[in-house]
Homo-oligomer: A and B are copies of this chain.
Amino acid sequence: MAHQEILQVETRGRGTQDITRAVNAAVARAGVDTGIAHVFVQHTSCSLTITENADPDVRRDLETILARLAPDGDPAYRHDDEGPDDMAAHARNVLTDTGVTIPVGGGALLLGTWQGLYLWEHRSAPHRRTVVITVLG
């Protein structure tokens, strides 16, 4: 039986927000001992990523790297209806993850010690983001 929940996240503009605890809470409510948890953003200008949870500089450096791979306001972009961060946000979504699947064991996410799950806002302005969590076992 699949357990499904919606998580709403208010972002503060470009940057990462730790949602590990919220997803673990959904896994606990699912009552699944062994299986998987699938997490998905219903948007194309933010994304999910699993990365190092100890030093915030890691996420700052990831931002630096993505800014090189998909810069804001690149003159080559044709799509810029919503400003210089519009197309850059779509590209950063494609280079990272719209959905992430994490193993569940002993009724909790089987993440490594240094792994955190982050919602990554790629737009400059704050947004309300919808995350769908599905737990299967």
Contacts and interface: CB of A to CB of B under 8 A. Distances in A.
A28 interface: no
A134 interface: yes
Given A44-B114, A100-B99, A76 B94 contact: no
Contact of A58 (B1, B64, B79): B79
A91 B79 contact: no
Given A44-B52, A61-B76, A104-B134, 12 more contacts: A36-B134, A42-B112, A42-B113, A44-B58, A44-B112, A44-B114, A55-B81, A61-B79, A94-B96, A95-B96, A99-B103, A112-B130
25 contacts: A2-B34, A2-B137, A4-B34, A36-B134, A38-B101, A42-B112, A42-B115, A49-B94, A50-B99, A51-B94, A52-B79, A52-B90, A58-B87, A58-B90, A61-B76, A61-B78, A61-B91, A62-B91, A65-B91, A95-B95, A95-B96, A98-B100, A98-B115, A110-B132, A136-B137
